[in-house]
């Protein structure tokens, strides 16, 4: 059997995550569930670094063409649907908190990082729904934070994914999804005036109150 470049790197005692992220076959080896690679990636320090990469802006002095290279690779690794990574990400509240802290930034969010973070949380919602819902229900300001960044399309997509996760396939829930999509379309068409912004935020807040009711009902059904 031919030894992969990733395996050769893992033979080094002092191999770093960044060295591995330079390898073209890293994602392929991860999806193939290379045990040594997954054991390395799922170390606490490595997982925290991967989540940090998708939630913090790279240094401004980095060359532009490689500036978001590592955040992109980190996102691909975190969302490649490998059970060992899903379990580590879904069961470690510290990693959840790093992801969640991204929402505490002042708008506008960096659109690329917002996309990476939304994709990662969305992947968790799909595969570790109970853990995600339990975590978010402890964060009273979650919907307020999402509303603050509602102008970033990735945050709207995340909200819709969350609704889809907890809904009971009812007409009411589908209508809620449609209303939020309509609100986003209207926002894109509106002129940016403070009065119109206030109206939009009011509508979105009302919609999100309904989302909270869905979350509460979902949790009650689980008890």
Q: What is the DSSP string of 85-137?
A: HHHHHHH-HHHHHHHHHGGGSPSSPPHHHHHHHHHHHHHHHHH-HHHHHHHHH
| Interval 140-199: pLDDT, tens | 788 778 878 888 989 888 888 877 776 643 444 554 555 555 555 655 555 454 555 556
CA dihedral sign, ordered 78, 81, 85, 86: positive
* Helix %, strand %, coil % of the chain (to 5): 75, 0, 25
> Nearest Cα to 75, choosing from 30, 131, 13, 12?
30
Per the model's pLDDT, the better-predicted residue between 134 and 94 turns out to be 94
Average pLDDT over every residue of 70-96: 96
- pLDDT higher at 71 or 179: 71
Given a cut of 70, whether residue 138 has pLDDT beyond it is yes
φ, ψ at 220 (rounded to 5°): -60, -40
Cα distance between residue 202 and residue 17, in whole Å = 45
pLDDT at 171: 47
Mean pLDDT of 122-151: 85
| Between residues 143 and 109, the one the model is more confident about | 109
Q: Is the peptide bond before 108 cis (omega within 30 degrees of 0)?
A: yes
Q: What is the pLDDT of residue 223?
A: 46
- Poorest-pLDDT segment among 38-52, 118-132, 193-207: 193-207
Assess contact for 23 and 5: CB atoms under 8 A. yes
Q: For 8-59, how does the pLDDT look when each residue is reduced to its tens digit (9 = 90+)?
A: 999 999 999 999 999 999 999 999 999 999 999 999 999 999 999 999 999 8
Which pLDDT score, from 0 to 100, does residue 193 have?
A: 46
Mean pLDDT is highest, among 131-135, 139-143, 217-221, for 131-135
Rounded Cα gap, residues 67 and 60, in angstroms: 8
């Amino acid at each position: 059997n031919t030894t992969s470049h990733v395996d050769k790197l893992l033979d080094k005692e002092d191999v770093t995550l960044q060295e591995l992220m330079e390898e073209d076959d890293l994602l392929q080896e991860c999806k193939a569930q290379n045990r040594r690679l997954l054991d390395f990636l799922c170390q606490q320090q490595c997982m925290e670094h991967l989540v940090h990469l998708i939630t913090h802006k790279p240094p401004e002095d980095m060359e532009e063409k490689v500036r978001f290279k590592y955040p992109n690779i980190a996102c691909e690794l975190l969302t490649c649907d490998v059970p060992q990574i899903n379990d580590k990400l879904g069961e470690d509240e510290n990693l959840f908190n790093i992801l969640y802290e991204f929402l505490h930034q002042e708008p506008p969010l960096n659109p690329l990082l917002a996309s990476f973070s939304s994709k990662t949380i969305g992947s968790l919602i799909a595969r570790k729904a109970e853990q995600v819902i339990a975590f978010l229900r402890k964060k009273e300001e979650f919907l307020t934070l999402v509303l603050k960044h509602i102008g970033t399309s990735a945050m709207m997509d995340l909200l819709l994914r969350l609704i889809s996760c907890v809904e009971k396939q009812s007409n009411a829930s589908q209508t809620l999804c449609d209303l939020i999509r309509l609100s986003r379309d209207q926002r894109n068409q509106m002129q940016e005036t403070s009065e119109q912004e206030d109206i939009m935020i009011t509508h979105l807040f009302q919609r999100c109150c309904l989302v909270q009711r869905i979350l509460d009902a979902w949790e009650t059904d689980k008890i």
